[in-house]
Amino acid sequence: MRTFLFIFLLLVTSQSWANLGFTTRAGDEINIVVHAAQGEYLFIWLPSEAGPQNSEKTTAQQLSRKGIEVWQINLLEDFFLPIVASSLDRLPDETVSELIDFASKQTGKNVYLVTSGRGAIPFLRGSRRWQLQHPDSPALAGTILLSPKFFVETPDPGVQAQLMPIVTTTNLPIFIIQPEKSPWYWKLDKTIPALQQGGSDV
């Protein structure tokens, strides 16, 4: 696990990218920015409620130089949703599940889902749907969450926070990268046991 995270955080030179189109069974058109690589890992990267960041593209290019293929998706744009936290809750589980299936069949690689903030919720929901449909497949290797937000809403001081229901039913290898000075760092004592409750290795 430590070696995997070390590779994830390395900085190297940039790499070119290409666009790949994908149509869901519901007829939705999904644009995928592919940073190709020859290694065995594939990251599907979804932006947070802040929208796409230049640093994400730079990191994706760097990762591809280290042999990790990265597919960047902007589902808020594909579904014509505003860049706000509540829009991520509206993304269809089916779309994430179909993307996992498509990526696995297209590349044969171990798929990891990468996101930050509120992007954790649609990825966990879509992962759960995919697992129920493919109970014996090892294609989905896990998810990497950067400062994830698992709560229904940001609680007021002194008010008990309520976790999204998907948290306690998730069963995945989960890597959490959480800055110590973030307010969400102090919620890990609640979120990690909740994730483990569903069987996740965090």
The answer for residues whose C-beta is within 8 angstroms of residue 13's C-beta and 6 or more apart is: 62, 65
What is the tens place of the pLDDT at every residue in 159-199? Answer: 677 899 999 999 999 999 999 988 888 889 999 999 999 99
Q: How far, CA to CA in Å, does 147 sit from each of 36, 105, 136, 172?
A: 26, 30, 30, 17
Cβ atoms of residues 88 and 76 within 8 Å: yes
Cα–Cα nearest to 35, from 54, 11, 17: 17
pLDDT at 12: 40
What is the tens place of the pLDDT at every residue in 109-145? Answer: 999 999 999 999 999 999 999 999 999 899 999 999 9
Percent of the chain past pLDDT 70, that is, above it, reads: 89
User: Distance between CA 76 and CA 61 in Å, rounded?
Assistant: 22
Cβ atoms of residues 19 and 78 within 8 Å: no
Q: End-to-end alpha-carbon separation of the chain, Å?
A: 10
pLDDT at 3: 57
> Tokens standing for 154?
């940001």
Beta bridge partners of 31: 21
